[in-house]
Structure 1
């Protein structure tokens, strides 16, 4: 993975946000050009997503971190750690499903990508955790979240997808179940998958929430799961209302 220590990482972040806005606008304003180049776009997106998965998960073959540099570019492979390396995060799972979709065009996963893919937009606007985490972001984060954030727009405009309320409710419910399921798993394993513990944005915003435990369910983690799902439901609902009757 490429480290952005050769330039101010906050500048990189602002550039990515600006590019995202420009690409989102282009999806709606440059339909003829995009329709004429859909095959090339799918190919480029597939290559980028494949690279981000390889760069992230090649660490499975290394016990320790490996770093090297080419000119002033510094690269790092993060050694395998079962407590952090598995793809049990909303955007990482979504990126894998998106790569599958780019390859297969399987319409059965379009609803999942429309709603969970929208979480990529949240990652572009504000990365999870403390704002200082921006300094450690690599190209894998930017590729996954950038493409995921654009996916709902692309599905509606170019793939003929239209959201339905049943999928909205089912996919939101799935998110809540997964978050609650991983609270005891994280406690038992000592992991923080789906950011249900200290790395969550909820914990950053409300650091004084007591960590009282109800069995295997700390109060802060339960509040995070419920709040995260409620916010996601509101976000998904906006997408649903806006795009459900649109035609392009």
Structure 2
């Protein structure tokens, strides 16, 4: 173990898609533990600022950055901005994602490309951009927010399941590649979480899903954030290449 690693509370975390939902909860969880936080968003400027204000209450360095993560150019521009503030991430949380609900026969090529790009290409580009600094300091954490459907697949969510399944394979393979550099790579694959993503289902559909879950309820974003936080800890250094699914016993 490299003992010149900076103390945990001096580390910086970058969370993509952090203007709401799970991403916002992750940002606040890290801020409350006194880490510096970078909140990425696409267009939700005011929502990202709101998350930033919440994080600032903990007395840590906070910055917001906007970028379309489907574009390598925009990610590099984001990196330059982050670097100019002296805040290159020690922890990268690839959280940004979009879902798509519908029969595969109705999925357009544009839908397919968009879901695959946001859920798979973006984590690839972000990881490729920010991992060299982690490799050179022989320390880092990459945590990918996946989904239970990436493990089990879901009817009417074939594109999303495919993208998250790819993210899980990406996690396992990259963990092996980066292990000699002291960088861990894990995925958190939540079940149903109380976020905007569930609003595509009406009340009766939501009740039906809850009945299928042994714990009888959706997860709270904070519960997912706490697992992401745990995997980022220095003492979690022997956990790598894992896809961990907090799902209330839905899938065991």
Q: Normalization by structure 1: what TM-score?
A: 0.28
Bigger Rg, structure 1 or 2: 1
Q: Report the TM-score, using the length of structure 2 for normalisation.
A: 0.28
| Greater relative contact order (Cα < 8 A, sep 6+) | 1
Higher helix proportion: 1
The structure richer in strand per residue is 2
